[in-house]
Amino acid sequence: MSARRLPTGGRIERSKTLSFKWDGRDLTGFAGDTLASALMANNQRVLGRSFKYHRPRGIMSAGVEESGAIVSIGEGARHAPNTTATSEQLYEGLVARGQNAWPNVRFDMGAVTGLFSRFFAAGFYYKTFMGIPPFEWGSGTGTGIWMVYEKLIRNAAGMGDAPQHPDPDSYEHAHDHCDVLVVGSGPAGLNAAVGAAKAGLDVILVEQDFELGGDFLGQSGEEAETKRTNLIALAKAVNVRILTRTTAFGLYDYGTAGLLERVSDHMASGSESLPRQRFWTVRAKSTILATGAMERSIAFGNNERPGVMNAAAAGVYLNRYGVLPGQNIVVATNNDSAYQTASQLSAAGARVTVLDARTTVPTLADDSGLTVQMGTAPMEVLGAKGVSGLKTAVADGAGWKAQGSQACDLVLVSGGWSPLVNLLSHRGGDLAWDAENACFIPSGRCERIHMAGSAAGVWTIEDCEVSGMVAGAAAAQDFGKSSPTMVAPAPGGWLNPIRPLYEVKVEGQKLKSFVDPQHDVTANDVRLAHREGFVSVEHLKRYTTLGMANDQGKMGNIIGMALMAEALGKEVPEVGTTRFRPPYTPVSIGALAGRNSGSHFRPLRRTPLHDWNLDHSATMTDAGLWQRPWYFARTGETIAQAYVREARTVRNTVGLCDVTSLGKIAIQGPDTSELLNRVYTNPFAKLPIGKARYGIMLRDDGLVMDDGTTWRLSESDYFMTTTTAHAAKVMVWLEELLQVRWPDLKVHVSSVSDQWAGCAVAGPKSRACLSACVEDAGVMENEAFPFMGVIETTLKDGIPCRIARISFSGEMAFEVYVPSDYAPAMMDMLWAAAEPLDGCLYGLEALGTLRIEKGHVTGAELDGRVSIDDAGLGKMASDKKSFIGDALRKRPELLREDRPRLVGIFPKDPDQTFNAGALLCRCDAVSGFGEGWITGVSQSPELGHWIGIGFVSGGHEAWAGQTLIAADPVRKGNIEVEIVSPHMVDPDGERMHG
């Protein structure tokens, strides 16, 4: 190929020169160029290397279906691999590099694999490297060696490298609504948008290109440009909302479309104020798809050499970018469409020979100035890194025989056209094989989706315009608007019928004929797959990787199916088509994430005591969405020293802990006690006013959902606390029960988690601490306020509060709740009282220590697989009443004695420790899943060594006096442990009752 920029013509602005870098070389192009057109104008031929064989590749198209010119754009953190140069708008300072090659795409050491390509057919790697003898004979899967080789194979094959740094750009999510979404701004799309908007509808028109016009842009002559500018002016006049550089990548239910707008990708220096890309969710009541059609290739020898290109693409480079892609051109076609391009290239000064696979074509036989050879097809391209000539074949009945060769520098191919029905396919729209036009076209109606132009199989520009008007009118009718009645043009439009031709196969010729050039899938690979039994299209795809590259089968799918049909002796439609899935073209991960990245990845919840905790030297940690105090280190303390001190202080004096994150639900109404009695496993019917009760909730299937407390404040006013983790779930559950299952119960629930702030006051001096804070110290007397008592009272300064005497730590303890705004004032007061008592603030780590010592369960234990008996709480299941989960908790499997039960774990050697997550195994069987697992570990100041909590089959009684192994192969290794009762400290609970 010897390409050059023409002195005149095209849509580029020759007065605006843009400099860019290609593989380290400084080149220039013009405003209006794509990277591909600028590279072509600079006569750069080899732009990429293929996936498997490292064959040289050049520009093969002028659009998003590109399989050859796939490059990396940008540098450092902005490096974007696998970008199609054909759809990348050129800008000043653009830096692009070839990929999958070393040292560069023009001379690539990896190309030696091509010499062995006959060994590398479909499935080669799997057949060769899985279960290599003698290492893996009889070892079952044989995946071990594969895991090693796969890494090497992936290095040798492949695409560009992912950037190694955090993405410095910002991305946005946006939502919009409209009456009609029009996808594509070609002759059909512009007319459709204008028609619908004229009928008074709100229309959004999206175009993936940086210019509006679609096929108008690739035409020569004034007429197309006049039509284009008129239609755009008209569209603006009727308020069509236009988005360019925007791809509709997916269609979803209810007229939802996903759009990707490339906002600042084309800007030389980026933009501080603009996002790089914008991810749109548009909800349209009706959708018009005017997405055009894509020209197919034909499989013949070396049909992917740099210098082999789609015929229509050459027309685009000539007419839009003013580049003549070759001087001595062969145009190989099986249909009428390539003749126009051939004539234009000839008129621009190239020598053009047309090879027409059809034997007779009455109306085109004498086209102006072209050399036309009928009944002739390309057989094999000559030349290594470019085209030096073409061997041809001549029709021989239904087949082909070798003919001769001719010199040329560019081979243009037109194997027919495929309507772009991807978006319709996303919505499940049906396709039918149109044998006359050799393509799949939309068939049947898909509600509120209208196909227009070439996407509906209409070929000529004039017909496409009418087709667009018809679609616009049809959309207007969706809304009951009157609109002109027009007849939709029938699919087709060529003067002469196409001769379906997918492969030029010649007896006795060994050809490398590519079906999917990007993934190096050849016609022989398809036949091999068939011979090996992969006859379904879906299996064919997976075995050969046909259609799995960036272009997702845009180039090769139809040829692959046609070859499979031939191998099966069937017709194409009998083989079927695969369903297209979103996205139509790749969508960056950054755009999917939008602003939901970094600290905005998920919501952050802070308690009203957050600043107070920080002011008192808290180190925070994440607990679900919440930030909670982890520990309060004093100067010089490590985390271990801090939490051990805090836990010890709670056991000896008093500690304060922010427990605001617990779920809190206000439950009111005359039937509340009935509701509670049904959802908790233990009796709640007779909970007296002024008392709290600890309760367990099961799911319908009998497993534990959550635990918590419920306080009875008055006759019909209750206050429920849940775990932090399950607060939302319990609320939803109660609402479901009350609205769906038991609508007769007169109960109202509302979440008050945010309305109340809470503090646990725990330790032998907790009563003294609180007594100093309440207005009337009398309410804190032991008799007035016994274990599980509840009072509503006021703290000093008139702060309203509710207090329950409940304990998670095992010490005498209280939970105090005040309206959230009073939280810091409450803490100031409590801390002022606790500090002189040698008290402390404690965090989650010490809380864990205290509860593990006591064998109290949390979310780590109640993981949704645990029964009430497993958790050691079987005594809390009443046998005097029925409750949710009661029936199914008694399933035989859940009652087995050897189920994992809650246990305590001690190291045999008191100086040793182990990790949460370790498996508990028999000493003689450290393998598999073992006998249980460890859910929590802490140093125990009370016991003076490390302890753990977890589950072991049969519970601690089953393992009395035995040694188990806490197996933790990737961290600590194996530690000998013994199994004890989970109630490791104060098993009788004397401290909290005291």
Partner 1 sequence: MIRIPCPFCGERDHSEFGYGGDATITYPALDAPAADWLEAVFQRQNIRGMQHETWQHVSGCRMWLVVERDTVSHEIRSVRPAHPGMGKALKEGS
| Lookup: tokens for 621 | 């940690």
Give percent helix, percent strand, percent coil of the chain, each to the nearest 5: 25, 30, 45
- In this complex, which beta carbon is closest to partner 1, that of residue 281 or of residue 371? 281
Q: What is the 3-state secondary structure (H, E, C) of 771-819?
A: HCCECCHHHHCCCCCCCCEEEEEEEHHHEEEEEECCCCCCCCEEEEEEE
Shortest approach of partner 1 to residue 736 CB, angstroms?
A: 6
- In this complex, which beta carbon is closest to partner 1, that of residue 78 or of residue 283? 283
For residue 694, what are the β-bridge partners? 709
Shortest approach of partner 1 to residue 222 CB, angstroms?
A: 44
SS3 117: helix
| Lookup: tokens for 115 | 């010499």
C-alpha distance from residue 124 to each of 128, 550, 863 (Å): 6, 22, 45
Report whether 186 contacts 292 (CB < 8 A).
yes
Q: What are phi and psi of 472, to 5 degrees?
A: -60, -40
- In this complex, which beta carbon is closest to partner 1, that of residue 475 or of residue 734? 734
- In this complex, which beta carbon is closest to partner 1, that of residue 256 or of residue 597? 256
- In this complex, which beta carbon is closest to partner 1, that of residue 309 or of residue 747? 747
Shortest approach of partner 1 to residue 888 CB, angstroms?
A: 5
* CB neighbours of residue 510 within 10 Å: 9
Residues of this chain that bind partner 1 (CB under 8 A): 252-254, 256, 281, 283, 678, 700-701, 732, 735-736, 738-741, 743, 882-884, 886-888, 890-891
Report whether 16 contacts 5 (CB < 8 A).
no
Shortest approach of partner 1 to residue 280 CB, angstroms?
A: 13
Give which of 910, 932, 911 is closest to 921, Cα–Cα.
932
Shortest approach of partner 1 to residue 488 CB, angstroms?
A: 25
- In this complex, which beta carbon is closest to partner 1, that of residue 536 or of residue 739? 739
- In this complex, which beta carbon is closest to partner 1, that of residue 27 or of residue 667? 667
Give which of 938, 901, 939 is closest to 920, Cα–Cα.
901
HSE, CB side, 13 Å, CA atoms: give it for residue 730. 33
Given the structure tokens 């007594």, which residue do they identify? Answer: 771
For residue 691, what are the β-bridge partners? 789
Read off the DSSP letter of residue 739.
I
Report whether 77 contacts 166 (CB < 8 A).
yes
Shortest approach of partner 1 to residue 279 CB, angstroms?
A: 14
Shortest approach of partner 1 to residue 891 CB, angstroms?
A: 7
In whole angstroms, what is the distance from residue 5 CA to residue 322 CA? 6
- In this complex, which beta carbon is closest to partner 1, that of residue 253 or of residue 366? 253
Those residues with Cβ within 8 angstroms of residue 485's Cβ, 6 or more apart along the chain or in another chain? 473
C-alpha distance from residue 450 to each of 211, 245, 432 (Å): 23, 22, 16
HSE, CB side, 13 Å, CA atoms: give it for residue 162. 7
Residue 682 C-alpha from the chain's centroid: 44
- In this complex, which beta carbon is closest to partner 1, that of residue 168 or of residue 670? 670
In whole angstroms, what is the distance from residue 432 CA to residue 436 CA? 12
Report whether 410 contacts 329 (CB < 8 A).
yes
E runs forming strands in 878-918: 900-907
- In this complex, which beta carbon is closest to partner 1, that of residue 550 or of residue 751? 751
- In this complex, which beta carbon is closest to partner 1, that of residue 150 or of residue 886? 886
| Lookup: tokens for 351 | 């020598």
Shortest approach of partner 1 to residue 49 CB, angstroms?
A: 40
Shortest approach of partner 1 to residue 877 CB, angstroms?
A: 13
In whole angstroms, what is the distance from residue 831 CA to residue 946 CA? 30
Q: What are phi and psi of 272, to 5 degrees?
A: -70, -35
User: Could you tell me if residue 495 is left (phi over 0), alpha (psi between -120 and 50 degrees) or otherwise beta?
Assistant: alpha
Given the structure tokens 């402390």, which residue do they identify? Answer: 840
Shortest approach of partner 1 to residue 738 CB, angstroms?
A: 8
Shortest approach of partner 1 to residue 469 CB, angstroms?
A: 29
Report whether 458 contacts 439 (CB < 8 A).
no
- In this complex, which beta carbon is closest to partner 1, that of residue 106 or of residue 285? 285
Sign of CA dihedral 189, 195, 198, 203: negative
C-alpha distance from residue 271 to each of 267, 805, 811, 867 (Å): 7, 59, 60, 57
Report whether 616 contacts 831 (CB < 8 A).
yes
Shortest approach of partner 1 to residue 581 CB, angstroms?
A: 16
In whole angstroms, what is the distance from residue 938 CA to residue 682 CA? 30
- In this complex, which beta carbon is closest to partner 1, that of residue 249 or of residue 643? 249
Report whether 54 contacts 111 (CB < 8 A).
yes
- In this complex, which beta carbon is closest to partner 1, that of residue 256 or of residue 771? 256
Shortest approach of partner 1 to residue 244 CB, angstroms?
A: 24
Shortest approach of partner 1 to residue 285 CB, angstroms?
A: 11
C-alpha distance from residue 50 to each of 69, 107, 266, 518, 685 (Å): 10, 13, 26, 6, 74
Those residues with Cβ within 8 angstroms of residue 769's Cβ, 6 or more apart along the chain or in another chain? 654, 656, 761, 830, 833, 834, 837, 839
- In this complex, which beta carbon is closest to partner 1, that of residue 256 or of residue 496? 256
Element (H, E) at 529: helix 523-531
- In this complex, which beta carbon is closest to partner 1, that of residue 678 or of residue 854? 678
- In this complex, which beta carbon is closest to partner 1, that of residue 860 or of residue 888? 888
- In this complex, which beta carbon is closest to partner 1, that of residue 889 or of residue 983? 889
